[in-house]
């Protein structure tokens, strides 16, 4: 079954590339990037499949077992725009395939000095493909935890990441409600880690796709949890919703201070290990405390992007004595 899907996927990718992408690349004078364009076609197709699967599976669940009725349906459409921008591969392709030749060059310089690049799979030779995939997923998730925690503890990081938390009507598209600069920084960070531990390009596409699908479930407006044990094995919608809870998921040590809880992207293990887990059995209201005081995070896409830059600029100004 999986092999049939892979074969079908390859046929469609080849047709789309030859019929549409390749002529467009050569006509615009970017023929030197033809290999990257082929890989980009794979990202695009995976994104289209993800969008279809999310709508077919999660949209009915949101209708059947919602946490709450949506108060602002326009906000969901804005989230959908973010999802289109991110899921169709623009940022991930740019980050991974721009850094790939750079990392290859660095690896070549290291080999001249007798230093061989690190490859995670070399530590356990003969590892089955599925086991290798799961190991990479866990390792990348560990680094994702610390990146996410940094977004909540560094003022500049929170200035951009707060856009993601400003959604008070969380839904299946909310995972990608991020500032574009935040997205670009994150994708570069993740691509560097993946290349540094030896993740192959094709494997990276699948790793990112699986991670994104699970994160969409976490953000969906669905009354779902995984039980006492399951909540400690995989991040659930209830566990992650607590991360978005007003005054809880984005604050520590009192009113307005940076911090929070439940930073795990896929696995709650890191929150348990580093004491940032909150397993309260409650589907909390989401948003940021200062929204109640009237702070504007914007409604439309471009307004949200502009206000994010304004918040970032505020953090770079010297503090008044």
For residue 321, being part of any structural domain is answered with: no
Tens digit of each residue's pLDDT (9 = 90 or more) over 27-37: 776 666 676 66
Share of the chain above pLDDT 70, in %: 78
Domain of residue 67: give its range.
8-23+30-316
* Mean model confidence pLDDT for the chain: 84
Neighbours of 111 (CB within 10 A): 11
Domain count within the chain: 1
Q: Is the four-CA dihedral 130, 239, 290, 295 of positive or negative sign?
A: positive
**206 pLDDT more than 70:** yes
For residue 13 the two structure tokens come to: 């990718």
Tens digit of each residue's pLDDT (9 = 90 or more) over 227-249: 999 999 999 999 999 999 998 88
**Can you give 191-207 as a three-state secondary structure string?**
HHHHHHCCCCHHHHHHH
Q: What is the CA radius of gyration of the chain?
A: 21
Pairwise CA distance, residues 86 & 186, whole Å = 12
For residue 16, being part of any structural domain is answered with: yes
Tens digit of each residue's pLDDT (9 = 90 or more) over 138-193: 999 999 999 999 999 999 999 999 999 999 999 999 999 999 899 888 988 888 88
For residue 163, being part of any structural domain is answered with: yes
For residue 156, being part of any structural domain is answered with: yes
Per-residue confidence (pLDDT) for residue 278, from 0 to 100: 94
């Amino acid at each position: 079954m999986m092999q049939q899907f892979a074969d079908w996927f390859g046929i469609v990718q080849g047709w789309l590339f030859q019929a549409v992408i390749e002529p467009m690349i050569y006509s615009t004078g970017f023929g030197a990037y033809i290999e990257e364009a082929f890989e980009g076609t794979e990202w695009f197709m995976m994104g289209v499949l993800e969008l279809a699967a999310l709508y077919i599976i999660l949209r009915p669940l949101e209708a059947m077992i919602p946490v709450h009725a949506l108060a602002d349906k326009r906000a969901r459409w804005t989230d959908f725009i973010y999802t289109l921008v991110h899921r169709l591969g623009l940022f991930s392709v740019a980050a991974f395939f721009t850094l790939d030749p750079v990392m290859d060059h660095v690896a070549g310089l290291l080999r001249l000095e007798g230093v061989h690049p690190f490859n995670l799979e070399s530590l356990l030779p003969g590892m089955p493909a599925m086991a290798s995939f799961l190991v990479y997923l866990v390792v990348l998730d560990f680094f994702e935890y610390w990146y996410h925690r940094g977004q909540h503890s560094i003022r500049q990081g929170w200035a951009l990441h707060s856009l993601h938390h400003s959604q008070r009507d969380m839904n299946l598209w909310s995972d990608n409600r991020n500032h574009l600069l935040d997205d670009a920084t994150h994708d570069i960070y993740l691509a560097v880690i993946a290349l540094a531990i030896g993740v192959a390009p094709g494997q990276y596409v699948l790793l990112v796709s699986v991670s994104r699908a699970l994160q969409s479930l976490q953000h969906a407006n669905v009354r779902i949890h995984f039980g006492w044990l399951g909540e400690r094995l995989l991040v659930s919608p209830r566990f992650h919703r607590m991360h978005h809870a007003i005054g809880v998921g984005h604050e520590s040590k009192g009113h307005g201070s940076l911090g929070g809880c439940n930073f795990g992207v896929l696995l709650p293990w890191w929150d348990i290990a580093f004491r940032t887990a909150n397993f309260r059995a409650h589907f909390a209201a989401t948003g940021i405390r200062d929204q109640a005081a009237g702070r504007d995070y914007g409604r439309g896409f471009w307004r949200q992007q502009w206000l994010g830059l304004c918040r970032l600029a505020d953090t770079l100004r010297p503090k008044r004595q």
